[in-house]
Amino acid sequence: MAPAWDLIDLDSYAYPIPGTDIPHFAFFLSRGCPFHCTFCYNQADPERSHWRIHSPDYVREQLGYLQKRLGLRAVSLLGDNPFAYSQKGQESIQAVAELGLRWASVARVETVGKEFAAWAKQAGAWWLGFGLESGSERLLRMMRKGFNLNQARHCFECLAPTGISLEANWMFFLPDETEQDRQLSYALMNELYRLNPNSYCTHTWFRPYPRTPLWQRCLELGWKPPGNNEEWAACSADKSYAPFSPWSAGQSNRLAWALIALYRYPAKAPGFGPLTRKVLQWRLHEGSFRLPLEDVAVALWRKARAYRSRSHRSSQGRSLIQRPGG
């Protein structure tokens, strides 16, 4: 059944790809996921393990309409796992390519090889996201991710010649995670960027979801789940909720900023010079986030900027006063 597009203010849902003027729309392509990651909310409901995807004809019809109505040139294909079954995913996405639309989607590490990479480039992919989660083989097994580190390396290496932008998401502060596990993740982040300079990293803190396998492990470790809606509301990434972090909330936030500066912007983070990056790299290597070095650096930078701004205005004022006929 087709959506009643006429009942929706479609113009409010179309927006340009950030940093461009390319008209863009987010479109749900698939539902559910047949895999069994132990941290994932899909594990809480057996129905969500039932994977389904829109047919090529449906995709062609609906996106064709939206393309004419909104002048679309690109689309984000949403769903927990559009490439759960790679061949079926490719068939539906090929319909997007036939419309001449560029597309972005998430994919599975173990499905990517040279053949997939060549197809994705030909079919118009401009962004692919992957849930790598950890550089520790032990934690990947615990999470039942279904791939190993060599497959992750192979995936990023195969996609390097395509120029497609790659996002690797990482998860920290899992139960039973050690500092050694985190060091393995930092090392793999660096290695994947060397293999594919078109890639960057994002991160999240682990949060326990009810009725998932890791929920039970959290209870075994003594974690106390929220008791009311207000406490649940505090369990958000925005509030830096990380029940298994070995550090305080402030120290965990400093780790977050280090990860953003070094790996979200691996070439050059805005406002972070070479010296600051060396300090952040030392922080990660030593696992030391107690002293608020970044907080002091930001405060000093802001004071210096304000001083330069006042000095500039003062010099402008003097030049106006001294100017003949002023």
Band the pLDDT of 299: cuts 50, 70, 90.
Answer: low
199: confidence class by pLDDT, cuts 50, 70, 90:
very high
Residue 176 near residue 164 (C-beta atoms within 8 A) = no
CA pair distance 142, 183, nearest whole angstrom: 17
Both structure tokens of 326: 């002023």
Q: Are 80 and 32 in contact (CB under 8 A)?
A: yes
Pairwise CA distance, residues 284 & 258, whole Å: 8
Q: Decide: 326 and 319 in contact? Cβ < 8 Å.
A: no
**147-158 average pLDDT score:** 98
Tens-place pLDDT, residues 42-54: 998 888 889 999 9
Q: What's the whole-model pTM score?
A: 0.86
Q: How many Cα atoms occupy the beta-carbon half-sphere of 326 within 13 Å?
A: 9
* CA distance linking residue 308 with residue 183, whole number of Å: 39
Query: In the prediction, which pLDDT does 320 show?
Result: 37
Average pLDDT over residues 196-222: 95
Place of tokens 């990482």: 170
pLDDT bin (cut points 50, 70, 90) of residue 19 is confident
Report pLDDT for 287. 87
Cβ(256)–Cβ(240) below 8 Å: yes
- pLDDT one-digit tens code per residue, 303-326: 777 777 666 555 544 443 444 444
Task: Report the range of poorest mean pLDDT among 136-140, 170-174, 197-201, 319-323.
Answer: 319-323
CATH code, 5-295 = 3.20.20.70
Q: Which range among 91-95, 228-232, 285-289, 317-321 shows the weakest confidence by mean pLDDT?
A: 317-321
pLDDT for position 271: 65
Q: Which residues contact 165 (CB under 8 A, 6 or more apart)?
A: 126, 127, 128, 198, 199, 200
The token duo for 311 is 């000095």
pLDDT surpassing 80 at residue 75: yes
State how far Cα 253 lies from the chain centre: 17
